[in-house]
Structure 1
Amino acid sequence: MLVSSWSKDVHSLPETYVFPPDQRAGDLIALACNNPIIDLNKVVDHHDRSETIQQILKAGREFGEVVGKYSVEVSKLVLRILDLICEGLGLEHGYFADELSQVQLLSVNQYPRCPDPSLAMGMHRHCDPNVVTILKQGNIDGLQVFKDGQWISVEPLPNAFVVIIGCQLQIISNGKLKNAKHRAVTNSNNARTTIVTFFNPCHDSIVEPAKALINGGSPLLYRAFQYKDFLANYTAKTGDTNTVLEPYKLQA
């Protein structure tokens, strides 16, 4: 059901939109932020309106160029990060360079301010299905990770990215690295915009624990599978961190 189809005529949320108390975010203090907005309703003169539209189209082209350059540079960064992970795990450099990180997806998310953040979620708790996620969260906090039985807010740092380990990296590392359960929360003062880049295996690629990490002291924990099958299972379970890996675990 679309929010626009009922929001003008009702005074309360449908039950399916209400998070249970144990899944609500709690209060969050956020920093101030001003977002530039072009209001076409305030452009009355036809010439001004036409000029504004041309400015928007120009901005769109420039935005595309910026996104293209950004994607290239983030891809370079991720390959460096993955090579450092390889070094830490004892794998050869370039292990993730081909099919395992070939698909790059970019998402720009806008979280509007919320009158009561304790009752709403920007994004429910989940794990990412991919290899690794790079998050640029700006100067407004809202990302929380689940650690040691509690939610911890990830403070935004200037000129820094947040690196989130996905399910595929947990499997490839044979459990040595753990996917990060996380969520996004809203706040009552400011909207929040994030840039998220996901690095995924090709749909037809085979994912399995790296053979170099399997030995007598580290038995095989996960079976091999095609990434597209994992995605179908992940989507069906809406990224539930407790069950999404279960079909791929091997019996002890």
Structure 2
Amino acid sequence: MDILISNWSNVEFVPKTYIFPPESRPGKLEFPICNDIPLIDLAHNNSDETIQQVIRACQEFGFFQVINHGISENLMDDTMNIYNELFKLPSEYKAKFYSNDTNKSCKIFSSTLAYDTEEVHYWRDTFTHRCNPLEEHIPSWPDKPTNYREVVSEYSIETRKLLNKILDMICKGLGLNLGYFEGELSKAHLISVNHHIPCPNPSLTLGMPAHSDPNLITMLQQGEVPGLQILKDGKWIGVKHIPHTLIIIPGLQLKVISNDRFITPVHRVVTHPKEARTTIGVFLVPSPEFLIKPATTLIQTVPVFRDFTYPEFLETFVDRRPGKIKFPVCHDIPLIDLANNHPNDAIQQVIKACQEFGIFQVINHGVCENLMDDTMNIYKEFFKLPSEYKAKFYSNDINKSCRLCSSTLAYDTEEFHYWRDNFTHHCYPLEEYIMTWPNKPTKYREVVSEYSIETRKLLYKILDMICKGLGLEKGYFEGELSKTNVISVNHHIPCPNPSLTLGMPVHSDPNLITLLQQCNVPGLQILKDGKWIGVQPIPHAIVVIPGLQLKLS
């Protein structure tokens, strides 16, 4: 099958490689339409009022449409027609531009630039090229349709003027010097056009992934066929097409420069069962060498974001997203039966798992199933308690022995938050710490104290097995090496788009040894042979992770 979907015809079913897992499919075909997206008239007589409308839209909605924007309707129609013709050209001609090389200035590709390695493809072809400076890039553009270069060069000039006009309005509204965004901050200028052929079953696939635009600012010209959606209040809602309006989306760089005053919306594209859909996007992007940071005049106390270059931003923000939602499950994580009749076999299994895998699961470990279930239920109840009660424990103070935090202890200074709440407290010696623990749910102290005693016994049992396996004295790890005993519980509420966020950062455990009790909801992953793989929960099994201190020992 041809990679470019624009070369397909008479498609009767969705190919398997385009069908998303049930949890990430759009599902239902009917979505509510958003009727309160700001619509701003750029020819308004009161320019100060228009500026305030733009600022308010960037702060409250992160998304707006403009009319009377200065780009002629004829030019918009001609450009849209050019691109509709381009995608209908013979496959041999389009093949000249096909490339997944991110450095190629003019290219066509299908789904994403990671087409060859991604598990599921998006229902789109994309044609993109650079536009600034025009004279440098125009020779690489297509010479078909016949007037492509003539029409698109005029369109690129006019849309750049419009985006610069809006950026100047943002300058005035934020109190920045006029021209703040000119030069290196908006040096790269791209046109990127998405084309979606009719899809036999739009409920199974997506035209574009859910994402926020990482660049400075985006302009979109939609056709008449619906498909663009934004995530608002946790729900996907459609963006209605208004003829000859243009959509403006402040990118994440504007969010940074505004010192977090602006919103950058999450949006995606769904497909249509009967009609092809084409959308023209125009993007202004910072130059790779330029240092991006919050505008000095907008920093009241401390900057929300650190300084970075655009490539650094892409590496730390875009590339650390999990992306695809379905990951392979690892079936060869060692599963060790601690009730093995041959203890020497079990010891060798533990040593081998520590040496070759660095993680293992144990069964028949001595912690009773009822206690495990009771403890898990206690924590589920705890996170459902009223916010006023949980607030008593909220703290980012690392020295506090019993605390509840969100994301990490660096919440106030970190650029991006992790999708979790974390409750942690010290457990040893028990009599010293138990009175600092919650008294709700009612049985918290009774159940968790028993759990902490039993799990500490289990960890010492495993450490003794490691002692024997390594030829160390029995009790080598007792005393100061394992003096502190901490329970730390992570809670993750359902996430509307797991491809965009993480529940915990990538890390290795810095302590001596860790015991994990998973629930039946998957999420834990390990990096194996350069790929992330899921750790399948096994009922009442316990995951054991040797920490970095064991590695040193």
Check 1:28–1:113 CA distance in 2 against 1; reply closer, same or farther (3 A cut): farther
- Tell me which of 170, 181, 185 is aligned to 1:85: 170
Amino acid at match of 1:249: E
TM-score by structure 1 length? 0.76
State the match for 2:276 in structure 1.
Answer: 191
Over residues 159-218 of structure 1, what are the superposed CA-to-partner deviations in whole Å (9 max), with x where a residue is unaligned?
1111112111111111100111110110101010111111100011110100000014xx
Q: Do the aligned residues in 2 keep the contact of 1:143 with 1:182 (CA within 8 Å)?
A: yes
Check 1:96–1:186 CA distance in 2 against 1; reply closer, same or farther (3 A cut): same
Point out where structure 2 has 5 or more consecutive residues left out of the alignment.
32-80, 91-141, 324-406, 418-553
Check 1:69–1:39 CA distance in 2 against 1; reply closer, same or farther (3 A cut): closer
- Tell me which of 26, 29, 41 is aligned to 1:27: 29
Distance 1:166 1:148 in 2: 19
State the match for 1:226 in structure 2.
Answer: 309
Over residues 26-58 of structure 1, what are the superposed CA-to-partner deviations in whole Å (9 max), with x where a residue is unaligned?
3158xxxx9668687xxxxxxxxxxxxxxxx97
Over the matched positions of the two proteins, sequence identity in percent amounts to 40
3-state SS in 1 of match to 2:210: strand
Distance 1:39 1:77 in 2: 30
- Cα drift, residue 11 of structure 1: 8.9
Distance 1:179 1:11 in 2: 32
Q: 1:21-170 maps to which residues of 2 (within 5 A)?
A: 21-25=22-26, 26-28=28-30, 59-170=144-255
Check 1:248–1:194 CA distance in 2 against 1; reply closer, same or farther (3 A cut): farther
Distance 2:149 2:414 in 1: 39
Distance 2:226 2:209 in 1: 16
Check 1:237–1:62 CA distance in 2 against 1; reply closer, same or farther (3 A cut): farther
| Divergent runs of 4+, >2 A | 1-4, 17-23, 34-40, 57-61, 231-240
Q: Do the aligned residues in 2 keep the contact of 1:221 with 1:250 (CA within 8 Å)?
A: no
Distance 2:165 2:313 in 1: 26
Check 1:115–1:159 CA distance in 2 against 1; reply closer, same or farther (3 A cut): same
Distance 2:300 2:292 in 1: 18
Check 1:190–1:237 CA distance in 2 against 1; reply closer, same or farther (3 A cut): farther
Say whether residues 1:13 and 2:26 are aligned partners.
no
State the match for 1:46 in structure 2.
Answer: none
Amino acid at match of 1:18: I
- Cα drift, residue 231 of structure 1: 2.5
Point out where structure 1 has 5 or more consecutive residues left out of the alignment.
41-56
- Cα drift, residue 100 of structure 1: 0.8
Q: Do the aligned residues in 1 keep the contact of 2:14 with 2:200 (CA within 8 Å)?
A: no
Distance 2:170 2:14 in 1: 51
Higher relative contact order (CA 8 A, sep 6+): 1
State the match for 1:249 in structure 2.
Answer: 415
Larger radius of gyration: 2
TM-score by structure 2 length? 0.36
Over residues 65-88 of structure 1, what are the superposed CA-to-partner deviations in whole Å (9 max), with x where a residue is unaligned?
111110000000001111111222
Paired residue total? 220
- Cα drift, residue 238 of structure 1: 6.1
Check 1:182–1:250 CA distance in 2 against 1; reply closer, same or farther (3 A cut): closer
3-state SS in 2 of match to 1:85: helix
Q: Do the aligned residues in 2 keep the contact of 1:28 with 1:187 (CA within 8 Å)?
A: no
Check 1:91–1:149 CA distance in 2 against 1; reply closer, same or farther (3 A cut): same
3-state SS in 2 of match to 1:68: helix
3-state SS in 2 of match to 1:223: coil
